[in-house]
């Protein structure tokens, strides 16, 4: 392999691919990226066996070929070179790097040992509205579970139906649901995509086109945008029946301003941090009070004006303040809607500006 490529493009691509390389891998080749020079492009392959990336950049290819080299060393070298042309030449299991007065030889491993990583999508692929998907990921990824003991909850459920796509995520204590209305030929398909690959897509996706493929034979999800192809395993298992979890009816509705609510929650968190993050929402006919207490620090209350409907007696519900904060951080409107039944049933939090989004939070049991 013998190619010339711009340092700026190569550095950017290596910094992306390095996030897909395995850390402390038992197989040494998983610490490497594969460089594949062919025709008019250089393709960089990286994988940790859970998710993979193939990034292609334009280059002058004199001789085609492949080699794998340590990702961290190559990235550090290329990043510290000056902008301009970089020459890469592979002979057997060694990569020669030249740029201006700089020359080095980097030991590698034969590319034939590198895992098979998908680099193209098939005709079964389809387009997703990228801008709507990014907004949906913002409103669901934050409540994906990190508990590896329940792997099915470490991803986002994609539900395709006649009206479009629904994204659902839950960690067992809260649940986010976001609908994306669009025309699709895919009907009644459900897949759970791991959080990590979706986080990478949300960071990298700036294109106006996103192609997606779910390959049942390899149990992989593939995403293509610009000159990047990302792939990940699909999580096996039965996702919780979210439709049964979401209340079909409620007794009390509360509507209040987001800014004041967010400030009250933030103030109550000062004491709540020493009391298992628990704050209390007390709903009365004239509004809502946010309170918290700590045996060591003291107590705090903030009263907020709110429109309350359906209330017969004062209602006190306790929540983890972080769950409410994270919900407030992703909504777009200036108001918040809360739907409640009693102090032990899930509370449904809504953004009146986005009828296709809801967030459910389980209350904390309190004494008395």
Distance of CA 317 to the CA centre of its chain: 30
Residues 235 and 339 in one domain: no
The Cα–Cα gap between 204 and 297 comes to 44
Residue 120 has a pLDDT of 94
Q: Which of 360, 357, 361, 359 is nearest to 179 (CA)?
A: 357
Residue with tokens 């409107």: 333
pLDDT tens-place string over residues 204-258: 988 777 999 999 889 999 999 989 999 999 999 999 999 999 999 999 999 999 9
The Cα–Cα gap between 115 and 223 comes to 19
107 - beta bridge partners?
94
Residues 208 and 233 in one domain: yes
Residues 10 and 89 in one domain: yes
- Domain at 200, CATH number: 3.10.150.10
Residues 151 and 188 in one domain: yes
Residues 6+ apart with CB under 8 A from 75: 11, 14, 15, 18
**Quick one: average pLDDT of 7-17?**
98
Q: Is the pLDDT of residue 356 over 90?
A: yes
Residue 186 has a pLDDT of 77
Residues 252 and 293 in one domain: yes
**Residue 108 is assigned to a structural domain of this protein:** yes
**Residue 118 is assigned to a structural domain of this protein:** no
The Cα–Cα gap between 19 and 27 comes to 17
Residues 251 and 238 in one domain: no
Altogether, the residues listed in the chain come to a count of: 368
**Quick one: average pLDDT of 56-76?**
97
**Quick one: average pLDDT of 25-49?**
94
**Residue 367 is assigned to a structural domain of this protein:** no
**Which of 180, 208, 243 is the last residue before a domain boundary?**
243
**Residue 366 is assigned to a structural domain of this protein:** no
Residues 204 and 284 in one domain: no
**Which of 243, 277, 301 is the last residue before a domain boundary?**
243
Structural domain count, the chain: 3
The torsion angle over the Cα atoms of residues 302, 305, 308 and 311, rounded to 10 degrees, is 40
Residues 260 and 239 in one domain: no
**Quick one: average pLDDT of 151-169?**
95
pLDDT tens-place string over residues 261-291: 999 999 999 999 888 999 999 999 999 999 9
Residues 34 and 136 in one domain: no
Residues 275 and 236 in one domain: no
pLDDT tens-place string over residues 25-35: 788 999 999 99
pLDDT band for 368, please (50, 70, 90 cuts): low
**Quick one: average pLDDT of 307-319?**
96
For the packed helices 7-17 and 71-79, what is the interaxial angle rounded to 10 degrees?
150
**Quick one: average pLDDT of 58-70?**
97
Residues 212 and 297 in one domain: no
The pLDDT mean for the chain works out to 95
Residue 184 has a pLDDT of 79
**Residue 120 is assigned to a structural domain of this protein:** no
The Cα–Cα gap between 266 and 325 comes to 8
Q: What percent of the chain has pLDDT over 90?
A: 88
Residues 160 and 106 in one domain: no
**Residue 162 is assigned to a structural domain of this protein:** yes
Which contacts of 107-112 are long-range, i.e. CB under 8 A and separated by 24 or more positions? 107/69, 108/32, 108/67, 108/68, 108/69, 108/70, 109/28, 109/29, 109/32, 109/68, 109/69, 110/67, 110/68, 111/34, 111/36, 111/66, 111/67, 111/68
Contact (CB, 8 A) for 18 and 199: no
The sign of the CA dihedral 10, 16, 21, 24 is positive
The Cα–Cα gap between 10 and 331 comes to 37
Domain around 239: 126-243
**Which of 243, 272, 305 is the last residue before a domain boundary?**
243
**Residue 199 is assigned to a structural domain of this protein:** yes
Q: What percent of the chain has pLDDT over 70?
A: 99
Contact (CB, 8 A) for 69 and 94: no
Question: What's the distance, Cα to Cα, between the start and end of the chain in Å?
Answer: 74
């Amino acid at each position: 392999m013998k190619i010339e490529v711009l340092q700026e493009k190569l550095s950017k691509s290596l910094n992306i691919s390095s996030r897909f390389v395995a850390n402390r891998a038992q197989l040494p080749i998983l610490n490497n990226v594969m460089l594949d020079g062919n025709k008019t492009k250089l393709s960089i392959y990286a994988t940790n066996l859970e998710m993979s990336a193939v990034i292609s950049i334009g280059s002058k290819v004199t001789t085609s070929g492949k080699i794998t080299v340590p990702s961290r060393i190559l990235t550090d070298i290329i990043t510290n070179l000056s902008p301009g042309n970089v020459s890469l030449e592979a002979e057997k299991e060694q990569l020669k790097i030249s740029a201006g007065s700089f020359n080095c030889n980097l030991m590698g491993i034969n590319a034939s040992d590198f895992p098979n990583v998908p680099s193209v999508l098939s005709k079964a692929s389809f387009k997703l509205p990228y801008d709507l998907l990014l907004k949906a990921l913002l409103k669901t990824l934050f409540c994906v579970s990190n508990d590896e003991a329940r792997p099915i909850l470490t991803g986002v459920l994609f539900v395709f139906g006649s009206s479009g796509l629904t994204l659902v995520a839950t960690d067992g204590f809260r649940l986010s649901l976001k609908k994306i209305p669009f025309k699709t030929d895919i009907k009644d398909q459900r897949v759970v995509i791991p959080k990590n690959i979706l986080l990478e897509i949300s960071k990298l996706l700036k294109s106006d086109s996103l192609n997606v493929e779910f390959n049942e034979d390899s149990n992989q999800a593939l995403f293509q945008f610009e000159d990047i192809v990302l792939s990940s395993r699909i999580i096996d298992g039965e996702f919780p029946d979210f439709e049964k979890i979401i209340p079909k009816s409620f007794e009390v509705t509360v509507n209040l301003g987001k800014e004041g609510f967010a400030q009250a929650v933030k103030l109550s968190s000062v004491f709540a941090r020493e009391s298992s993050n628990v704050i209390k929402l007390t709903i009365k006919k004239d509004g809502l009070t946010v309170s918290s207490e700590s045996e060591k620090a003291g107590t705090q209350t903030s009263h907020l004006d709110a429109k309350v409907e359906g209330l017969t007696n004062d209602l006190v519900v306790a929540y983890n303040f972080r769950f409410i904060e994270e919900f407030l951080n992703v909504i777009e409107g200036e108001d918040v809607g809360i739907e409640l039944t009693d102090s032990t049933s899930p509370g449904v939090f809504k953004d009146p500006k986005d009828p296709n989004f809801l967030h459910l939070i389980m209350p904390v049991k309190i004494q008395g």
